[in-house]
């Protein structure tokens, strides 16, 4: 049974939302629930010691971190919590992963990457440089001939890049600039079949879920991927990132870098369901929040309800931005223009033509008014940004409005009202 999201209930869980400020830069970082805030304060007040020792406070501290790993496991849909690695950010996690893979990369190996966020490009580019591997780009291309900015990734552009030398394929499940959802499972399947047909030795797939995880359910097992990363601070929790490394890759591909991948102390200290497990549910508490969003208390139901609410936000904002008047005014959506459940409410655009405007100047109006937070720039998707057709200045790049399930239609209407004044 489909459940409707109770947005007022969701909002009530976030102290920051009580101010009435319109948070519309959520792809940069979401707000955090009161429960997560309380857990952080409690963790730092009562269990802030080194993990893995046998004294009581360290045992509790270890339990809490392990339960957060269990939470990440569930969010990833992974098999085992020992496949989860925490790090300060997804950028750092992917850099560590690339360092850990170093010994298993041979000269001439090929990495296929997208020009999206540098977190999932830079680490592979640097690894390629260190090991003499070759980088190939899977670029997004326009979907609407009348809008050169209507970019999306297409599997038919990817498959010709696969060769007998393909070793790593790294792409985003959702671009933090384009907002469209990439069908990870179908693409991975197609890549693996193509690689097998061409005689590739070993292909590992790395998915950047940072801009996806706040909106849709991850499923690393069904997707059949080897590495996956997301940032809890964009999923309503503290500034920490979780990396999934498939058990097989932990054994066969990744070497240990310092205490990267899982101090052995972990699993034996906490039994799921054992004493203290529920009461100290992690240091993040995302799952209890997500489960509380629908009566079903089930993650699939929650993400379905989130998607159903988000499409209303997407339709309203895209409806305004893609209307004929806005097209004539020079507004071009950057990304897929049609609203659908395959698009999250991360919406970017540029203003081109005779009355072109810099993205910076559009956003400045919002900042001068106050009350609404949106942002402009390349959002670290340098390669994608620098490939946008003129007259987009790389640093100025796009205006981005990024919403999540706690944003309301009224907020979207207020954002549109400001755009109407700016573009009048």
- Please give, one letter per residue, the 3-state secondary structure of the chain: CCCCCCHHHHHHCCHHHHHCCEECECCCCCCCCHHHHHHHHHHHHHCCCCCCCCCHHHHHHHHHHHHHHHHHHHHHCCCCHHHEEEECCHHHHHHHHHHHHHHHCCCCCEEEEECCCCHHHHHHHHHHHHHCCEEEEECCEEEECCEEEEEECCHHHHHHHCCCCEEEEEEECECCCCCEECCHHHHHHHHHHHHHHCCCCCCEEEEECCCCCCCCCCCHHHHCCCEEEEEHHHCCCCCCEEEEECHHHHHHCCCCCCCCCCCCCCHHHCCCCCCCCCCCCCCCCHHHHHHCCCCCCCHHHHHHHHHHHHHHHHHHHHHHHCCHHHHHHCEEEECCCCCCCCECCEEEEEECCCCCECHHHHHHHHHHHCCEECEEECCCCHHHHHHCCCCCCCCCEEEEEECCCCCCHHHHHHHHHHHHHHHC
In the list 73, 81, 99, 117, the residue contacting ligand PLP (rule: CB under 6 A) is: 117
d(CA 395, CA 392) in angstroms, rounded, equals 9
Q: CB nearer to ligand PLP: give 128 or 384.
A: 384
In the list 211, 213, 318, 397, the residue contacting ligand PLP (rule: CB under 6 A) is: 211
Min dist. Cβ of residue 75 to ligand PLP (A): 15
In the list 62, 152, 166, 172, the residue contacting ligand PLP (rule: CB under 6 A) is: 172
Residue 241 engages ligand PLP in binding (rule: CB under 6 A) = yes
Min dist. Cβ of residue 308 to ligand PLP (A): 23
Q: CB nearer to ligand PLP: give 62 or 231.
A: 231
Chain positions 11 to 30 lying near ligand PLP, rule: CB under 6 A, are 27
Residue 231 engages ligand PLP in binding (rule: CB under 6 A) = yes
User: Judged by CB under 6 A, which stretch of 67-75, 205-213, 347-355, 412-420 contacts ligand PLP?
Assistant: 205-213
Chain positions 126 to 155 lying near ligand PLP, rule: CB under 6 A, are none
Q: CB nearer to ligand PLP: give 194 or 208.
A: 208
Q: Give the β-pairing of 398-402 and 346-351.
A: antiparallel
Residue 208 engages ligand PLP in binding (rule: CB under 6 A) = yes
Q: CB nearer to ligand PLP: give 223 or 320.
A: 223
Min dist. Cβ of residue 177 to ligand PLP (A): 8
In the list 39, 119, 200, 306, the residue contacting ligand PLP (rule: CB under 6 A) is: 119
Q: Are 406 and 236 in contact (CB under 8 A)?
A: no
Min dist. Cβ of residue 127 to ligand PLP (A): 16
How many residues can be counted in the chain? 424
Min dist. Cβ of residue 135 to ligand PLP (A): 18
Min dist. Cβ of residue 276 to ligand PLP (A): 29
Min dist. Cβ of residue 241 to ligand PLP (A): 5
Chain positions 66 to 95 lying near ligand PLP, rule: CB under 6 A, are 89-91
Q: CB nearer to ligand PLP: give 28 or 148.
A: 28
Min dist. Cβ of residue 173 to ligand PLP (A): 9
Residue 191 engages ligand PLP in binding (rule: CB under 6 A) = no
Chain positions 274 to 303 lying near ligand PLP, rule: CB under 6 A, are none
Residues that bind ligand PLP (CB under 6 A): 27, 89-91, 116-117, 119-120, 172, 176, 208, 210-211, 231, 241
């Amino acid at each position: 049974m489909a459940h409707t999201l109770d947005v007022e209930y969701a909002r009530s869980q976030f102290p920051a939302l009580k101010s009435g400020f319109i948070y519309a830069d959520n792809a940069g970082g979401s707000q955090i629930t009161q429960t997560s805030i309380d857990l952080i304060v409690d963790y730092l007040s009562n269990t802030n010691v080194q993990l893995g020792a046998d004294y009581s406070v360290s045992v509790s501290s270890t339990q809490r971190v392990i339960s957060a790993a269990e939470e990440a496991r569930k969010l990833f849909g992974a098999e085992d919590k020992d496949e989860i690695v925490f790090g300060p950010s997804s950028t750092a996690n992917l850099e560590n992963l690339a360092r850990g893979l170093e010994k298993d990369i041979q000269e001439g190996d090929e990495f296929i990457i997208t020009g999206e966020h540098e977190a999932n490009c830079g680490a592979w580019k640097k690894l390629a440089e260190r090991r003499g591997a070759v980088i190939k780009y899977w670029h997004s291309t326009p979907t609407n001939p009348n809008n050169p900015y209507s970019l999306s990734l297409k599997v038919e552009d990817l498959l010709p890049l696969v060769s007998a030398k393909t070793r790593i394929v790294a792409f985003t499940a959702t671009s933090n600039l384009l907002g469209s959802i990439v069908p990870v499972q179908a693409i991975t399947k197609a890549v693996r079949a193509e690689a097998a047909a061409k005689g590739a030795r070993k292909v590992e797939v790395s998915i950047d879920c940072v801009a996806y995880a706040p909106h849709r359910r991850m499923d690393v097992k069904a997707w059949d991927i080897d590495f996956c990363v997301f940032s809890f601070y964009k999923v309503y929790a503290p500034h920490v990132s979780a990396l999934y490394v498939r058990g097989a890759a932990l054994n066969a591909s990744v070497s240990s870098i310092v205490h990267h991948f899982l101090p052995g102390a972990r699993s034996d200290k906490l039994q799921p369901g054992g004493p203290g497990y529920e009461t100290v549910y992690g240091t993040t508490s995302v799952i209890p929040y997500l489960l509380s969003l629908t009566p079903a208390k089930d993650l699939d139901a929650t993400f379905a309800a989130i998607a159903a609410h988000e499409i209303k936000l997407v339709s309203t904002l895209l409806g305004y931005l893609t209307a004929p008047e806005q097209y004539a005014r020079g507004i071009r959506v950057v990304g897929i223009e049609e609203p659908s459940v395959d698009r999250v409410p991360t919406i970017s655009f540029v203003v081109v033509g005779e009355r072109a405007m810099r993205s910076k100047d559009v956003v400045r109006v919002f900042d001068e008014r106050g009350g609404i937070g949106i942002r402009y720039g390349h959002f670290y998707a340098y390669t994608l940004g620098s490939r946008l057709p003129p007259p987009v200045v790389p640093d100025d790049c796009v205006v981005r409005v990024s919403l999540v399930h706690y944003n309301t239609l009224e907020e979207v209407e207020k954002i549109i009202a400001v755009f109407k004044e700016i573009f009048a």
